[in-house]
Amino acid sequence: MVIRGILDTSIIIDVLRNHVEAIAWIKTLRTSEYGITPIIWMETIQGATNRTERDQAARFLRQFVFCHPTQGDTMWAIRQHMIYFLSHRIEFTDCMIASVAVGLNTALYTQNLKHYAPLPGVDERRPYT
């Protein structure tokens, strides 16, 4: 299966918060060709303030491919975190998310370009404004 992109938490949250541009963009996708990582799933669920929001988020996330990091992805993330945390404050969770996109050689769709810009090999894209 070809994954056409990884969707960052910022995209998922925008859709769940009914951001018009995010909803319009997501409707253009064949969601079965786009992935999320375990960290994206957990960040999204963690953002819920009650069971209704949590359950709604979990249902929404089911339509995407669950892309697990490999051991190589994890080692890449550790290396990038060592290089960029002190200089750019790149968080480990962002390194892990980026590692899956880099490992799959696919785009990472995000509204937070600055979180990923310093990381080598990341094809970060902002799909809407």
Residue ranges of domains in the chain: 5-125
CA angle 94, 116, 2 (to 5 degrees): 80
**For residue 110, what pLDDT is reported?**
98
The number of beta carbons lying within 10 Å of the beta carbon of residue 27 is 9
Could you tell me which residues come within 8 angstroms of residue 21 by beta carbon, excluding any fewer than 6 positions away?
14, 128, 129
Q: What confidence tier does 111 reach under pLDDT thresholds 50, 70, 90?
A: very high
CATH 3.40.1670.10 given to domain 5-125: no
Q: What is the pairing mode between strands 34-36 and 5-7?
A: parallel
**For residue 113, what pLDDT is reported?**
96
pLDDT, one tens digit per residue, over 1-10 is 799 999 999 9
Mean pLDDT confidence for 18-44? 97
- Whether 16 has a pLDDT exceeding 90, the answer reads yes
pLDDT, one tens digit per residue, over 44-76 is 999 999 999 999 999 999 999 999 999 999 999
Q: Considering the chain, what is the average pLDDT of its residues?
A: 97
**For residue 93, what pLDDT is reported?**
97
